[in-house]
Structure 1
Amino acid sequence: MKRGAEVKKASHSRVEKRLNAAWVQSAPPGRHADGGGLYLQVDSSGARRWYIRLVVRGKRRDLGLGSLKYVSLAQARAKALEMRAIARAGGNPRAAERRKEGHGITFRDMAIEVHSRKFKGGQHNGKHVAQWIRTLEIYAFPLIGDLSISEIHSDDVEQIIDPIWDSKPETARRVLQRVSTVFDHACGKGYRGASNPARGLRGLMREQRVTSEHFQALNYHDVTKLMYWLQENDAIGSYALRFAILTAARSAPVRLATWEQVSEDFTVWTIPGGNMKSREEFQIPTSIPVRNLLLDLRSRFGKRAGYIFPSPQNPAKPLSENTMRKLLQSQYPGATVHGMRASFRTWAAEAVNARHEVAETALAHTVSSKTVAAYLRTDYLNERHMLMEMWGMWVMGEWEWFDDRMDIETEINDRLFGGVLAQT
C-alpha cells in the first residue's frame, strides 16, 4: 500500500487507494492517483497541481484543476466529481467551467480587459486609451456595467443605443461597435453560452438621417497601423502618402513638391503660392519622421532636381493624383487622402488639446478676418513645429509620451535642440 494513502473498501470487494490531505503536501515527484481519474502531479521542482483524466465526447482529455497551493484535496475531488458528471452527460467540462466563470464577470470587468488588450498591449498608455473606454463609461456602464457578461441580451444593448441613435448617430455607431467588441472577446473566452447580443443589432435599427457629407477620414487611432503597413511598401506612392499624413498637407502640394522647396537641413518645407489653395506661400515645419523619410529618398535616388515624388512612368512628371488614393483605399475602402487632414485635426483637439489657432494654421486654414489678420502677423511657426513633432510621434506609434504635455515637450526639445526650442 502507498505510504500515507487512505484505504477504502469499494463495492464488489475491490480495494481503492486514495490520497490523504497530509500526505499530498510532501508527496514525491511523479503522478499520484486518487481514483476516478483524479491525479496529483508533482514536478521535480516541487510544484504540485491537480488534473483529471476524462473522456469528453469520445476523446480522452487531461484537464487541469489548479495548483495544490490554491486547490485542496477536498476541493479537487468536488471539482472532479462535477466534471465527470458533465462529461457523462455528453457535455464539455471545460466549456461549462468557463461559462460558470463568466457568471462572476461583469460587463465593466470585460470592457476594461478588452480595453487594456486592444490599446495598451503592454507598451502604450496615451490619452487614446481613455477615449475608447470613455464612451462605454458614459453610455454602457450605467445600464449594463454591473450585469454579468453571460446574462446580457440584445434588449439590454438596444436600451443603450436607441436613445442616441438619432441624436448622436456617429457616437451611437461607435458605442455599438465597442460593445460588440467586448462581447466578441467574452464569447471567445467561453464566458457566454449565447452569441454576441450586439451582433446584427445595427441592421435592425431604423435608418439614421445623414445631414451632411464630409471627406471620409480614418479614426486617428488607426493612423499608426496604416503607417506601419506603408513602411513595408517602398513604392514612391507609399512615400508620398506617408509624407502627406505626417505633414497634414493637401495631396496637390505633396505631388508637386520639389527638392528646391525643402530647406537644406530638411526642417522646413515651403510651398509656393501657386500650389496652395489660398494662393499664398506657406511653410510647414517638418517633424523628425518627415526628415528621415526625405533622407531615405535621397539615399535611394541621390541628389537630383525635380519632383520629390515623381511619376514612376515619367520622372519629369509628378505622381498621379490617383496613386495615393488607390493605395489608401486598398486598406481602408472609402477613405480619402484629404480625410487624413481631418484625422490630424481631430487628433489635435482630442489627444493634445492644441490651441485652435495653431491647429487651424497647421492646416493652412484662415483663422481670422482680414482686419484681424492685418494686425496679427504670426504664423505660429514654433508652436506648429511642436505640434507637428507630436503628430509625428503619434503616427509612428510613440503613444507612451502622451500622458503628460510637459513630458512630451521636454522629450521633443531634447531630441531636436537639446532643450532650447523656443516656446510661444
Structure 2
Amino acid sequence: MVQAMAALGGKLTKRLVENLGPGRHGDGAGLYLVVDPSGARRWIVRVTVKGQRNTRGAPLRTDFGLGGADVVNLNQARERALEYRRMAKSGLHPRFHAKREVPTFEELSRQVHLDRLPTWKNPKHGAQWINTLRDYAFPKIGRMPVDAIGQPEVLMCLSPVWTAKHETAKRLAQRIKTVLDVAKSAGFRDGENPVTGVREAEVLPKVKARPEHHDAMPWRDVPAFYAELETRSATAAKALQFTILTACRTSEVLGMRWAEVDAEARLWTVPAERMKGGVQHRVPLTDEMIRLLEPLRALGFDYVFEGQRRHRPLSNMAMLMLLRRMGRGQYTVHGFRSTFRDWAAEEAGAPHEVAEAALAHQVGSEVQRAYARSDLLERRRELMERWGIAIAQ
C-alpha cells in the first residue's frame, strides 16, 4: 500500500497545475502537464512498451493523452499514468489495452474547446463555439456518456431551435458532430455520426434561408448626408465619414491605429488578423480621407478613432446610433459598402475585379486567386479618389 502511494507522488501540486505557464512540466515517471500558449492544460504520459520496437528498430516510446486538466485532476492523471506504465512494462500497448472511462458529452466538448482555442481567429469565436453547446446541448445531453448519444438525442437538441433559430441550429449541429467525431477518433464511439444520420434522413423540416440584406442608402443621397456629417464634430461622425469613403467594415475602421498608416505612401494597411477573410488589406488614402485624418493625428491617440475611454476605440454601436439620431435609422453602417458597390457599377463603370478588391472580397477560384496576386492598388486608388470627389463635392 505504501509503495502504491509513493508511486502516485510527484513534483507537481494542485496549485502548480493551475498556475504554471506555457510549456511541458514533468511530474515524474513520464507524466507531463502540457500548457499551451492559449492557457489550455492537458496531461500526457510517455511510456516505453517492453519488447516492442518502432520502424527504425528502437524501443517503442509513445506519448498518450490523458485528458484536459480541467476534467482530469492531478491524482487521476497519476493513476492513469501508473496504469499505462504497468501495461507498457508488461509488453501491452496502452492504446489497445487501457481501460478508460467514457467521458460525458460536456466533458469531451470542453476538452475539444480547449484543444482548438489556439486555432480560432480570436477569443470571441472560441467563446461562441462552447456557448452554443452550453445553451442548447448541455441541458439535454451534457451528462450523457458520448457513446450513448444517437439520433434521438441529437434531434432532442436540434428540434426546438431548428425553425426558430435556424442559423444557430446549423452551427449547433456542426459542433455536436465535431465532438462526436473526436469521440470516435479517441475510441469512445463506433459507427456513423448520428448528426450525419439525421441530416441524410431529412427528418427535420426544410427551412428556406432568408438572405440577409444590409439596408443601404441610395448613392445619390450620400453627398447630402455626407455634407450633414461634415457639420458635426463628434468622433462618431468623423469615423462614419471615413467608413463611407473607404467602404471598409465597421470593425476595420474602429480598430485602426496610427501605426497602420503610412502618410508618405498614402496608404493604410489593415493587418490580416483584423480582416474578415484573414488576408491583409491595403487601403489607398485619398485627398478627402487625408483631410479627415490630419486633425485626428494631432490628438496623439493610439487609435485613430478613440472613444470616451482612454486607449480604447470608439464603441462599435456609435456610428449606428449616430445614424438613428440623424433620422436615418432605416440604414446601417455596413450598408454603405453596398452603396459604394452600386455607385461603382452604375455610375463609375468600374471593372468587377477592381470594385470587389476595394471591398476586400475574394474573387474567382482558389487557383485563379493564386495567379492573380496583385491587389490592384493603383487602380483602386483612382476609383476611391473618384468616389471621394462624388460624395464630398
Q: TM-score, normalised by structure 2?
A: 0.45
Q: Which has the larger radius of gyration?
A: 1
Q: TM-score, normalised by structure 1?
A: 0.42
